[in-house]
Amino acid sequence: MAGILSIQFTPAAGDKERNFQKVCGLIDKFADRKFDLIVIPEFFSTGICDDAFINSPENTEGGAVVEFFSKIVRKYNTNIVCGTASERDGEKLYNTAFVLDRNGVLAGKYRKIHLYNFFGGNEGTYTDAGSDTLVLDLDFAKVGVSVCFDIKFPLLYRDLIKQGAEIIVSPSAWSILASAPKKEKEIFIKTWEAMNICRATESLVYFVTSNLTGRTAPYLESIGHSMITGPYGEVICNAEEEEGGIYADIDLKVVRDLKGKVPVALME
């Protein structure tokens, strides 16, 4: 069995240290559990704040994010997907998920491919799109990485399962206008939940989302509902809208058996 923890919270805009400590406190609430993987939300260090994202980027090795969380992974003996942070590489700025192994070593990074430029979103005006997918052969499973709006693009996940992904994670900041009517928000959440289920069952993987929640910008409300979903499409955990974490012991033998019986990675 593998222990998976997904963190959900409302970050403070532009306050990295406060956000680091808040994530650390939320992880510590599960300190009695066995961790194999922890997943943290998109924009966790800066919040949904363009100025903070643009003006306080990490370097290509992950800077303050990797420095801080390398201590966390050694403390809890776990692998971790450090949400996403801004990464400066020359003249380009990426929305990047850094992944650390149990030794605190940078095992890989994924630069978000599908940027959100719709319904008022402007991510692509200051962020460059990545081009490479990522599946890491960590010490307990093969883990594929996606980020937020990627969830709308099933061909990306097809590529991840062709590379052998058994777990796919998605740090997210899935949000809606705070002024949206209640009925619209309810539909928005149902759609999000349906995409989580679809990405898990169509790929025969455990699908783990870690989302922001609450008022995350003056005009935005992040919906929460971080989820751990199994390969049959079963919702194992749903964080709903509260800050905190969701934990599950998952059986990777289920995924490996299913992939042997239904070789989705080989099907066109």
How far apart are the C-alpha atoms of 145 and 8, rounded to whole Å? 17
Q: What does the pLDDT read at residue 267?
A: 65
Q: What is the dihedral angle through the alpha carbons of 12, 17, 20, 23, rounded to the nearest 10 degrees?
A: -50
Given a cut of 50, the residues of the chain with pLDDT beneath it are none
How far apart are the C-alpha atoms of 262 and 156, rounded to whole Å? 19
Could you confirm whether 112 is annotated as catalytic? yes
Q: What does the pLDDT read at residue 207?
A: 98
Q: What does the pLDDT read at residue 70?
A: 97
Could you confirm whether 237 is annotated as catalytic? no
| Domain count for the chain | 1
Phi, then psi, of 254 in degrees rounded to 5: -60, -50
Of the residues 22, 49, 109, 148, only one is catalytic, namely 148
User: Which stretch of DSSP H or E encloses residue 200?
Assistant: helix 182-203
CATH number at residue 225: 3.60.110.10
Of the residues 42, 58, 123, 221, only one is catalytic, namely 42
pTM of the model: 0.96
Q: What does the pLDDT read at residue 117?
A: 74
187: Cβ contacts below 8 Å, ≥ 6 apart? none
Question: Could you tell me the residue range of the domain that residue 147 belongs to?
Answer: 2-266
Could you confirm whether 61 is annotated as catalytic? no
Residue 64 CB neighbours (<10 A): 15
- Give how far Cα 137 sits from Cα of 79, 100, 165, 203, 257, Å: 11, 12, 9, 17, 18
Q: Are 65 and 82 in contact (CB under 8 A)?
A: yes
Q: What does the pLDDT read at residue 265?
A: 73
Of the residues 112, 166, 221, 259, only one is catalytic, namely 112
How far apart are the C-alpha atoms of 264 and 257, rounded to whole Å? 12
Grouping H, G, I as helix, E, B as strand and the rest as coil, residue 19 is helix
Q: What does the pLDDT read at residue 268?
A: 61
